[in-house]
Chain A
Amino acid sequence: DGGITQSPKYLFRKEGQNVTLSCEQNLNHDAMYWYRQDPGQGLRLIYYSQIVNDFQKGDIAEGYSVSREKKESFPLTVTSAQKNPTAFYLCASSIDGRRESYEQYFGPGTRLTVT
């Protein structure tokens, strides 16, 4: 069964600690994306990658980092520099990141709580 997996579903961390969120896809998609969702708001793009070994900052990249060493994997690290890290994080992928007509497929999300 093809899809996108994110783990864990819930994550708790202390302030000042870095934390890495996992995202894996077996859809053979070239492009992958990370979004942040806050209550009552739409999704905001953190980082995206159109191809392996390449990624670009989205609208709210400060305090986050990513890597794309494998086509299937796009982990997101929330660093201690991120001022308000508590949020719901969603990973997505699409067949081709260069065509606007291709829809994005989303994972189930990771809810991160930092205290």
Chain B
Amino acid sequence: GDSVTQMEGPVTLSEEAFLTINCTYTATGYPSLFWYVQYPGEGLQLLLKATKADDKGSNKGFEATYRKETTSFHLEKGSVQVSDSAVYFCALSGGATNKLIFGTGTLLAVQP
């Protein structure tokens, strides 16, 4: 079945460092891809999405490109801030039910 694999954390970076969180997927058909962020004790917030191959989603300095040839949707940010510390989830949605399938999440800790 469909699945999402993302790099295990925690990822610890210093402020202003470059961030990459890897995400790869397995799916039949052409899913939509999402990155969600979860701050401690809260629900998930949509960070960005891409709905077809070669689409680039972007928001708040974060970017991810839908790469069909490598089945990947890696999250990047050029300069992280302490306020970016959170858990990041990669997810896909496919088929006629819009069910989301999540990766296990990656904890990002940014130190000042």
Contacts and interface: CB of A to CB of B under 8 A. Distances in A.
Interface residues of B, number: 26
B98 A97 contact: yes
Contact of A41 (B4, B34, B36, B104): B104
Given A42-B89, A43-B89, A56-B97, A103 B102 contact: no
Nearest to A43: B102
Interface in B59-95: 89, 93-95
Interface in B1-52: 4, 31-32, 34, 36, 41-46, 49, 51
A67 interface: no
A107 B43 contact: yes
A50 interface: yes
- Best-surrounded residue of A97, A104, A108, A109 (most CB of chain B within 10 A): A104
Given A90-B43, A103-B49, A109-B42, A98 B97 contact: yes
Contacts of B42: 108-109
Contacts of A76: none
Contact of A106 (B31, B45, B95, B103): B45
A46 B48 CA distance: 24
Interface residues of A, number: 31
B103 A96 contact: no
A25 interface: no
B98 A108 contact: no
25 contacts: A33-B99, A40-B105, A41-B105, A42-B89, A43-B100, A44-B102, A45-B100, A48-B97, A48-B99, A50-B97, A90-B43, A92-B44, A97-B97, A98-B98, A100-B31, A100-B32, A100-B95, A100-B98, A102-B98, A103-B46, A104-B46, A104-B98, A104-B100, A106-B43, A107-B43
